[in-house]
């Protein structure tokens, strides 16, 4: 088990190195930030001074070497735009993203799992059909459109909820639902198919023959085993929420990490883009690692095979 | 006389007077929050050598300049300087700083030292401030006493008052506290900025919100709202929805939403003639190494090039663009960088080229291009002018109708800014809207249409240099008006390498909390926050 874990950690580190290298070189291809930091009529001398100040006058190889060394020393640099430490910017935005991601995830599971189980148990019924329509809609509706429609309905017409921005719990409902709807539909489908497979298995038939209560059969024996792929999917989705919620964050003016990275791309704020992508890839790879370990815990066969 | 007969009315009158005074006091007291949704905060910097100019909208509530513009006449008017004196034909400017103006948070009284410090900071090497080139022309700054500062220039600088002017967009020579910046250092002063304006800084969450609080009993104007909150909402549809939902009270919005705002019954604020819209035809810099003689509109044969330029103008229905793309918010004009009410905009100059594609095609044939030619239209959006790619697209479509093959190139502002500087966009066209950053058109050309300027927005020509050099040192406003109207204007109409479309207005969406909002004509972007009244 330990050998496996160490191997996975090494793989993770290597993957991150590849990611940061790609991000470093790609951001340099996108244009020079000084053209946004200085007025269009700035002199050649002003440009040179700023280039030197930001270290952009050095060769690409030197910049890359310094960048990798500093990361290993825990220094992510300073924002090109604000000159404040990049970590400060990330920490400023991360809570909003985590908050939105967690509530969206909670809603997704709360909607997706029970509906998936119900749909599997009542396969072919009216509610199963309705749940499948719900899933298809959720997976085919563009997030920005859904977000705008929800804003119009609940914010403008009914005036139940705020139309955007971050504040109290009421500000969270619409963006979390928008973000969570797509995934709740996916979780519903996954739970449904996993439950159908499990419910047809011999041990469930045996449990029923033993005379166990149907609710115990479903929720204890059935769902517990059907949850394995759902858990994997949910964890990876949560990590994706952290970086991939940029559309939702933009539509709802939510000051999260995704929007920070997007804005930093448009302003060529290399250090923030690099650090943001690094944080997200670290979370993604850690999430992967966590899922692997969780798998081993939930499924003894995997644990024994790896051991 | 029986005293009881007049005591009673006197007491009643006194009570009425006291009630009226108290009511007036209450009315003047700032109350409530005004929340404003804008698309961008600019670079979100607070020190004069770090902000560029696009931050104007969100910085203006708390900062003040030495001068401003009279909203009715457009003339220079006092602000932090209670008066000023221009001597030696524009070589010497003396500012008399208003006494008793306090920096926020008990940072002391404004003095001439603070002004000198601010100007030196703007001018220092590496400064990002858009006014840095102008402030570097200052030869010396002399603090004559705590409230008098004299600036000296090598050459006459007759319009320096427009560089320290609150009443213009991107006029960001905002006066800072020397003591605060020196004791807090750049980092501290950026986190807790201090100024003299009617709003003081409370909070800044980068990319999310900026919060100001009203300064009670401010020397100039006490705001009617207690708090002013800017939220950054990049998506225009969300801004619209937030306004309609009552989440915000003011939104920045493009003219393309004018009809929609009207349909849903949202009030709008019109800011007339805030930018000048045109199509730049790149490549007009015959003395530079990037000059390409093969570009049809800039070729060495002046007559053929002129015919091509006129054909490109005749091919475009400017009125349709103004109506369809800008929602009717603008005035079609033929003159360059002039607004309808400017004294130098004569009727002859204002007249645009008519829409005449047949004649345009004939002129192209005369110029040697019967089958048109290939060109590139850059589609680039600039802050506050999101309509520009649509204008570029519309013009490209009109050009195609006369046989020109137009390749569209969506390109980011940062990428294209480098081309501007390097004069590396020969043969490329693009839609651009110059904000009114200076009242006189030659001031704009001095920055962007002058051989000695750092960049070229569209033209360089010895004749234009000559006009600019003459205007820059001409102290008489009347004479400058004459030169612009009778000499430079007609010359530009003949030689300006572009398609003149006209002056564009801007609008804002207003919620029910907002009462009257007086604006300075020609000032792009929100301003005068302190004068917004609460709706009854």
Q: Is B432 exposed, middle or buried (0-12, 13-18, 19+ CB in 10 A)?
A: buried
Q: Please report, to the nearest 10 degrees, the dihedral formed by the alpha carbons of residues A175, A176, A182, A185 taken in order.
A: -140
Give the orientation angle of helix A169-199 with respect to helix A86-121, to 10 degrees: 40
Whole-model pTM: value is 0.82
The pLDDT value given to residue B19: 45
At residue B126's C-alpha, the angle toward residues B122 and B129, to 5°, is 40
What percent of chain B has a predicted confidence (pLDDT) above 90? 57
Which residue among B43, B242, B455 sits closest to A41, beta carbon to beta carbon?
Answer: B455
Does B129 lie at the interface with A, CB-CB under 8 angstroms?
yes
pLDDT 10s digits, B141-162: 999 999 999 999 999 999 999 9
> What is each CA distance from B163 to B133, B219, B492, in whole angstroms?
11, 23, 25
pLDDT at B135 over 80: yes
Mean predicted confidence (pLDDT) in B479-504: 91
What would the two tokens of residue B11 be? 């007491």
Flag if B128 and A42 touch (Cβ within 8 Å). Answer: yes
B contact residues 421-450, partner A, Cβ 8 Å cutoff: 421, 447-448
Residue A33 with chain B: CB contacts under 8 Å? 414
What percent of chain A has a predicted confidence (pLDDT) above 70? 93
Where is pLDDT greater, at B28 or A88?
A88
The pLDDT value given to residue B288: 79
Helices (H), B65-194: 112-123, 132-135, 178-191
The pLDDT value given to residue B516: 94
**ipTM of this complex prediction, to 2 decimal places:** 0.76
Flag if A253 and B231 touch (Cβ within 8 Å). Answer: yes
The total of other beta-carbon atoms located within 10 Å of residue A256's CB is 30
pLDDT at B20 over 50: no
Mutate: best of A27, A34, A38, A170, partner B, most B CBs <10 A: A38
Residue A44 with chain B: CB contacts under 8 Å? 454
8 A C-beta contact, residue B335 and residue B499? no
Rg (CA), chain B: 26
Label residue B8 by pLDDT band (50, 70, 90). low
A contact residues 106-145, partner B, Cβ 8 Å cutoff: none
pLDDT 10s digits, B165-196: 998 887 789 999 999 999 999 889 998 999 99
The pLDDT value given to residue A153: 93
**In b/e form, how buried is each residue of A105-140, taking b as 16+ CB within 10 angstroms?**
bebbbebbbebbbbbbbeeeeeebeebbebbeebee
Does A159 lie at the interface with B, CB-CB under 8 angstroms?
yes
Report how far residue B141's alpha carbon sits from residue B86's, in angstroms, rounded to the nearest whole number.
Answer: 14
Determine which helix (DSSP H) or strand (DSSP E) holds B322, and give its type and residue range: helix B318-324
The pLDDT value given to residue B17: 46
The pLDDT value given to residue B21: 43
Among A86-90, A220-224, B383-387, the range with the most confident prediction by mean pLDDT is: A86-90
Q: What is the DSSP letter of B145?
A: E
Flag if A166 and B420 touch (Cβ within 8 Å). Answer: no
Q: Which of A180, A154, A171 shows the shortest CA–CA distance to A252?
A: A171
Mean predicted confidence (pLDDT) in A33-47: 73
3-class DSSP assignment, residue A265: helix
The pLDDT value given to residue B398: 98
pLDDT at B211 over 90: yes
Report how far residue B443's alpha carbon sits from residue B477's, in angstroms, rounded to the nearest whole number.
Answer: 13
What do you get for the CA distance between the two ends of chain A, in Å? 5
Does B324 lie at the interface with A, CB-CB under 8 angstroms?
no
Does A53 lie at the interface with B, CB-CB under 8 angstroms?
yes
Give the orientation angle of helix A126-140 with respect to helix A169-199, to 10 degrees: 120
The pLDDT value given to residue B175: 97
Which residue among A156, A250, A266 sits closest to B245, beta carbon to beta carbon?
Answer: A156
Mean predicted confidence (pLDDT) in B331-353: 89
Flag if B414 and A31 touch (Cβ within 8 Å). Answer: yes
3-class DSSP assignment, residue B42: coil
* Alpha-carbon dihedral sign for residues A114, A120, A121, A124: positive
Q: In chain A, whose CA is at the least distance from the CA of B39?
A: A253
Residue pointed to by tokens 């850059």: B378
A223 CA: distance to closest CA in chain B (Å): 40
Mean predicted confidence (pLDDT) in B402-406: 96
- Poorest-pLDDT segment among A36-40, A81-85, B162-166, B202-206: A36-40
Does A255 lie at the interface with B, CB-CB under 8 angstroms?
yes
Q: Which of A171, A169, A167 shows the shortest CA–CA distance to A151?
A: A171
Flag if A82 and B242 touch (Cβ within 8 Å). Answer: no
What percent of chain B has a predicted confidence (pLDDT) above 70? 93
Mutate: best of B129, B247, B418, B448, partner A, most A CBs <10 A: B247
Flag if B241 and A156 touch (Cβ within 8 Å). Answer: yes
Report how far residue B302's alpha carbon sits from residue B295's, in angstroms, rounded to the nearest whole number.
Answer: 12
**In b/e form, how buried is each residue of B217-231, taking b as 16+ CB within 10 angstroms?**
ebbbeebbbebbbbb
Where is pLDDT greater, at A176 or A302?
A176
Label residue B242 by pLDDT band (50, 70, 90). very high
Does A267 lie at the interface with B, CB-CB under 8 angstroms?
yes
Q: Which of A193, A190, A192 shows the shortest CA–CA distance to A182?
A: A190
pLDDT at B18 over 50: no
Q: Which of A226, A203, A207 shows the shortest CA–CA distance to A215?
A: A207
Where is pLDDT greater, at B531 or B416?
B531
8 A C-beta contact, residue B427 and residue B376? yes
Determine which helix (DSSP H) or strand (DSSP E) holds B28, and give its type and residue range: helix B3-28
The pLDDT value given to residue B91: 95
Label residue B254 by pLDDT band (50, 70, 90). confident
8 A C-beta contact, residue B245 and residue A155? yes
Residue B420 with chain A: CB contacts under 8 Å? 40
Residue B418 with chain A: CB contacts under 8 Å? 31-32, 35
pLDDT at B41 over 80: yes
The pLDDT value given to residue B314: 96
The pLDDT value given to residue A41: 66
- Poorest-pLDDT segment among B52-61, B463-472, B525-534: B52-61
Considering chain B, what is the average pLDDT of its residues? Answer: 88
pLDDT at A52 over 90: no
The pLDDT value given to residue B24: 43
8 A C-beta contact, residue B533 and residue B283? no
> What is each CA distance from A302 to A292, A296, A306, in whole angstroms?
9, 5, 6
pLDDT at B122 over 70: yes
pLDDT at A87 over 60: yes
Where is pLDDT greater, at B96 or B493?
B96
A contact residues 16-35, partner B, Cβ 8 Å cutoff: 30-33, 35
pLDDT 10s digits, A54-69: 788 888 889 888 888 8
What would the two tokens of residue B494 be? 């003949």
Label residue A300 by pLDDT band (50, 70, 90). low
């Amino acid at each position: 088990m330990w050998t496996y874990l160490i191997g996975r950690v090494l793989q993770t580190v290597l993957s991150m190195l590849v990611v940061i290298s790609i991000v470093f070189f790609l951001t340099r291809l996108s244009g020079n930030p000084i053209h946004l930091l200085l007025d269009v009529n700035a002199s050649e001398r002003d440009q040179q001074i700023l280039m030197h100040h930001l270290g952009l006058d050095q060769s690409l190889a030197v910049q890359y070497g310094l960048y990798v060394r500093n990361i290993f020393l825990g220094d992510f640099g300073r924002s090109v735009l604000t000159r404040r430490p990049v970590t400060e910017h990330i920490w400023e935005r991360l809570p909003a993203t985590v908050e939105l991601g967690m509530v969206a995830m909670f809603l997704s599971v709360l909607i997706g799992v029970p509906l998936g189980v119900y749909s599997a148990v009542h396969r072919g019924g009216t509610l199963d059909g309705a749940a499948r329509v719900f899933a298809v809609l959720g997976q085919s509706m563009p997030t920005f459109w859904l977000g705008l429609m929800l804003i119009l309905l609940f914010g403008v017409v009914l005036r139940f909820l705020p139309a955007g921005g971050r504040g109290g719990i009421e500000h969270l409902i619409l963006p979390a639902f928008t973000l969570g709807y797509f995934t709740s539909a996916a979780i519903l489908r996954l739970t449904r198919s996993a439950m159908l497979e499990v419910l047809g298995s011999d041990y469930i038939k045996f449990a029923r023959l033993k005379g166990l209560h149907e609710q115990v059969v479903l929720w204890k024996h059935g769902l517990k085993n059907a949850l394995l792929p759902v858990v994997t999917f949910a964890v990876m989705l949560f990590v994706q929420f952290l970086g991939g919620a940029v559309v939702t964050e933009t539509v709802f003016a939510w000051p999260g990490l995704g929007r920070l990275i997007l804005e930093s791309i448009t302003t060529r704020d290399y250090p923030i883009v690099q650090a943001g992508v690094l944080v997200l890839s670290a979370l993604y790879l850690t999430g992967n690692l966590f899922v692997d370990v969780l798998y081993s815990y939930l499924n003894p066969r995997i644990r024994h095979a790896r051991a | 006389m029986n005293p009881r007969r007049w005591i009673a009315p006197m007491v009643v009158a006194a009570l009425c007077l006291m009630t009226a005074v108290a009511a007036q006091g209450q009315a003047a007291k700032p109350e409530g929050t005004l929340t404003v949704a804008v698309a961008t905060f600019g670079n979100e910097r607070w020190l004069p050598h770090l902000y560029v100019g696009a931050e104007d909208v969100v910085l203006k509530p708390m900062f003040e300049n030495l001068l401003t513009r009279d909203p009715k006449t457009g003339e220079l008017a006092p602000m932090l300087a209670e008066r000023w004196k221009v001597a030696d034909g524009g070589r010497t400017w003396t500012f008399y700083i208003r006494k008793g103006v306090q920096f926020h948070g008990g940072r002391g009284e404004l003095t001439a030292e603070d002004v000198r410090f601010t100007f030196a900071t703007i001018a220092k090497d590496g400064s990002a401030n858009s006014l840095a080139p102008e402030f570097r022309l200052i030869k010396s700054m002399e603090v004559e006493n705590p409230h008098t500062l004299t600036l000296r220039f090598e050459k006459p600088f007759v319009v320096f008052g427009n560089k320290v002017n609150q009443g213009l967009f991107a006029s960001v020579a905002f006066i800072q506290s020397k003591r605060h910046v020196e004791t807090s250092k750049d980092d501290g002063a950026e986190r807790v900025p201090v100024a003299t304006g009617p709003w003081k800084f409370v909070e800044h969450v980068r990319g999310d919100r900026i919060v100001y609080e009203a300064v009670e009993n401010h020397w100039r104007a006490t705001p009617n709202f207690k708090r002013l909150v800017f939220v950054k909402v990049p998506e225009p549809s969300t801004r619209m929805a937030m306004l309609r939902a009552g989440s915000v009270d003011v939104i920045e919005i493009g003219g393309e939403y004018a009809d929609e705002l009207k349909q849903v019954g949202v009030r709008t604020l019109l800011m007339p003639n805030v930018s000048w819209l045109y199509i730049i035809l790149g490549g007009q810099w015959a003395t530079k190494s990037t000059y390409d003689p093969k570009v049809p509109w800039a070729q060495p044969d002046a007559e053929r090039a002129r015919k091509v330029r006129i054909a490109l103008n005749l091919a475009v229905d400017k009125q349709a663009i103004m109506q369809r793309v800008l929602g009717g918010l603008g005035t079609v004009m033929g003159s360059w960088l002039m607004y309808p009410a400017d004294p130098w905009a004569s009727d002859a100059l204002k007249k645009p080229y008519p829409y005449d594609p047949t004649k345009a095609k004939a002129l192209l044939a005369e110029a040697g291009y019967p089958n048109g030619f290939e060109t590139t239209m850059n589609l680039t959006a600039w802050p506050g002018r999101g309509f520009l790619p649509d204008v570029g697209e519309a013009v490209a479509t009109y050009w195609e109708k006369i046989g020109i093959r137009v390749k569209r190139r969506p390109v980011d502002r940062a990428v294209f800014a480098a081309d501007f500087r390097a004069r590396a966009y020969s043969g490329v066209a693009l839609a651009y809207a110059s904000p009114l950053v200076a009242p006189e058109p030659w001031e704009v050309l001095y920055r962007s249409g002058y051989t000695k300027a750092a960049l070229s927005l569209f033209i360089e020509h010895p004749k234009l240099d000559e006009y600019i050099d003459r205007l820059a040192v001409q102290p008489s406003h009347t004479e400058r008006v004459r030169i612009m109207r009778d000499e430079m204007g007609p010359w530009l109409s003949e030689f300006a390498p572009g398609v003149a479309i006209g002056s564009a207005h801007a609008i804002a969406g207003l919620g029910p909390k907002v009462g009257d909002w007086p604006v300075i004509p020609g000032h792009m972007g929100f301003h005068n926050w302190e004068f917004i009244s609460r709706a009854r």
